[in-house]
């Protein structure tokens, strides 16, 4: 019996699929490359069998219709990642989303030829091929078998670093997907882009594609798949030169007063020298007739405002509600730019912006300098510094991930006792718990790549 496959019912806000879409559904085998989706041409090729494997393949292709961009060209023109890596990364994202939605691609999505191909690539020392097969099978039933075949092939080739790099890449892909888990299913248009074909969800795929391109580039240049869990590659000179961009302050007028208590406040106490609240002897069962001074501050909140992170004026108000008197700053860097504003103070000393300033880029780029600014802006040594960032720090030139920059940011977090949260929801929840006294405002707390 042929299962009902209705791709015309699938909707995506980002691509604005039309109500009268007509799709042609064709029968395919379950072999890799046979099932496919042509979103622009409304052609769907899937197996019709009534079994778990076929059902998982159909779900995979339907998820492409639901989330994948109709056209990759706008993303390719950004020149952040190659088309090949974008497509590989999108496969990883779709498999991760399937897992989240209750399907089980890690059990039912497999191809018998994957292990043979992986073994051949490793034995031939085809590093790009190894990188591609690791990425192509991530989140599928054959992924662990592929890594095992790469181990066997690399042993036969006399180069165990191939397997070590493949394992490291597998872990990195998992970490990147986890870092952007809050936006994997988003079909909202990207930032203020007028292009309805560019969604926030695919931005996660672009970030992962940049990582894949970095692995390919370093492997081609140095003859080894990089293992970012070890520092040897930086010492051997294989890692490309990378550094943060320069911090450029933008104009953000603090014209709005918010109700926050800053500075020092007096509080009733049951110990002291001079009884200033003698009237409490009759009304307070604890007889708190003395005064004590307490420093009141919401701390410093630094927000990664890159394309992968969202921010609104409402978010600023929410932070100030739970952390009155906080200093709030955000950063977003245009890749490769100089002199263009990439950093804004959004709240300070009881004032905040009425409207968010216009940002000029979607990259990170200045994570390190922005974090140093936050640490220097503390009013006292142990004041809380909260960094809302997914942990994927990047350089200022091409928004790429580099171990030396991650190591620098990690050191700053540890020395400054910074608390990191991956998204605004986690940050607000943390501030609530700090205000209630159920969470410590002192770190370090590391997330994402920085926690490795």
User: Which helix or strand (DSSP H or E) is residue 267 part of?
Assistant: strand 263-269
SS3 track for 237-255: CCCCCCCCCCCCECCCCCC
CA pair distance 271, 207, nearest whole angstrom: 56
257, two tokens: 């007063």
Q: Report CA-CA distances (Å) from 6 to 14, 44, 62, 65.
A: 20, 10, 9, 11
Structure tokens at 379: 């009013």
In the prediction, which pLDDT does 431 show?
92
pLDDT of residue 215: 86
* Cα–Cα distance for residue pair 317/321, rounded to 1 Å: 6
Q: Would you state the pLDDT for residue 229?
A: 44
**pLDDT score, position 239:** 44
Stretch(es) of the chain classified as CATH 3.40.50 = 256-262+297-451
Per DSSP, the residues of 386-435 read EEE--S----TTT----HHHHHHHHHHHHHHT-EEESSHHHHHHHHHHHH
CATH of 256-262+297-451, one of 3.30.70, 3.30.450, 3.30.310, 3.40.50: 3.40.50
Cα distance between residue 246 and residue 161, in whole Å = 36
Cut 0.75: pTM above it: no
- The pLDDT assigned to 71 comes to 85
Per-residue pLDDT of the chain (452 residues; tens, 9 = 90+): 456 677 777 766 555 555 566 788 888 888 878 888 888 788 888 888 888 889 899 999 989 988 898 888 889 988 888 999 999 999 999 999 999 888 989 998 888 899 999 999 999 999 999 999 999 999 999 999 999 999 999 999 999 999 999 998 998 898 888 878 878 988 877 655 455 567 888 988 998 998 898 888 878 877 888 775 433 333 333 344 578 999 999 888 898 887 655 445 566 777 777 777 877 877 877 778 777 665 555 799 999 998 767 788 889 999 998 888 899 999 998 877 788 889 999 999 888 998 898 876 678 889 999 999 999 999 888 899 999 998 888 888 777 777 778 888 888 999 899 999 988 999 999 999 988 888 899 999 998 778 76
Within 8 A by CB and 6+ apart from 312, the residues are: 356
Q: How many CB atoms lie within 10 A of CB 353?
A: 18
- In whole angstroms, what is the distance from residue 20 CA to residue 88 CA? 30
How confident is the model at residue 196, as a pLDDT?
A: 53
- What single DSSP character describes residue 378? -
Structure confidence at residue 337 (pLDDT)? 77
Residue 447 C-beta-side C-alpha neighbours within 13 Å:
20
What lies within 8 Å, CB to CB, of 172 at 6+ separation is: 211, 215, 228
Radius of gyration of the chain, Cα coordinates, nearest whole angstrom = 26
Query: What's residue 267's pLDDT?
Result: 65
> What letters, b where the CB count within 10 A reaches 16 and e where it falls short, cover 176-205?
bbbbbbbbbbbbebbbeeeebbbbbbbbbb
């Amino acid at each position: 019996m042929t299962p009902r496959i209705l791709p015309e019912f699938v909707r995506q806000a980002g691509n604005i699929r039309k109500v009268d879409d007509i799709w042609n559904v064709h029968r395919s085998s379950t072999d890799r490359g046979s099932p496919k989706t042509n979103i622009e041409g409304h052609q769907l090729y899937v197996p019709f069998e009534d079994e778990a494997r076929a059902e998982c393949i159909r779900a995979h292709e339907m998820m492409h219709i639901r989330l994948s961009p109709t056209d990759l060209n706008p993303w390719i023109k950004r020149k952040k990642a190659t088309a090949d890596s974008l497509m590989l990364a999108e496969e990883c994202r779709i498999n991760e989303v399937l897992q989240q939605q209750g399907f089980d691609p890690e059990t039912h999505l497999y191809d018998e030829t994957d292990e043979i191909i992986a073994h051949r690539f490793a034995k031939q020392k085809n590093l790009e091929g190894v990188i591609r097969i690791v990425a192509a099978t991530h989140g599928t039933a054959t992924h662990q078998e592929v890594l095992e075949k790469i181990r066997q092939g690399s042993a036969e080739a006399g180069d165990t670093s191939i397997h070590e790099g493949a394992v490291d890449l597998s872990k990195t892909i998992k970490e990147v997907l986890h870092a952007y888990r809050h936006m994997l299913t988003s079909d909202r248009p990207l930032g203020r882009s007028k292009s309805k074909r560019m969604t926030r969800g695919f931005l996660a795929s672009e970030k992962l594609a940049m990582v894949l391109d970095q692995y390919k580039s370093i492997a081609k240049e140095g003859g080894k798949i990089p293992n970012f869990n070890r520092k040897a590659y930086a010492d051997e000179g294989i890692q490309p030169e990378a550094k943060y961009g320069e911090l450029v302050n933008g104009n953000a007028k603090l014209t709005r007063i918010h109700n926050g208590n800053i500075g020092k406040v007096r509080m009733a106490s049951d110990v002291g020298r001079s009884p200033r609240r003698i009237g409490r002897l009759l009304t307070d069962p604890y007889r708190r007739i003395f005064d004590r001074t307490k420093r009141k501050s919401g701390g410093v909140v630094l927000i990664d405002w890159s394309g992968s992170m969202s921010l609104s004026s409402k978010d600023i108000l929410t932070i100030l509600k739970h952390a009155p008197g906080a200093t709030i700053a955000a950063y977003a860097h245009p890749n490769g730019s100089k002199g263009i504003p990439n950093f804004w103070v959004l709240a300070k000393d009881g004032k905040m912006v009425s409207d968010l300033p216009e940002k000029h880029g979607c990259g990170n780029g200045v994570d390190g300098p922005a974090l140093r600014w936050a640490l220097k802006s503390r009013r006292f040594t142990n004041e809380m510094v909260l960094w809302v960032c997914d942990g994927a720090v990047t350089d200022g030139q091409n928004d790429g991930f580099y171990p030396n920059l991650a190591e620098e940011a990690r050191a700053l977090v540890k020395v400054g006792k910074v608390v990191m949260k991956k998204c605004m929801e986690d940050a607000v929840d943390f501030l609530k718990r700090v205000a209630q006294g159920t969470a410590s405002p002192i770190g370090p707390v590391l997330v994402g790549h920085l926690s490795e």
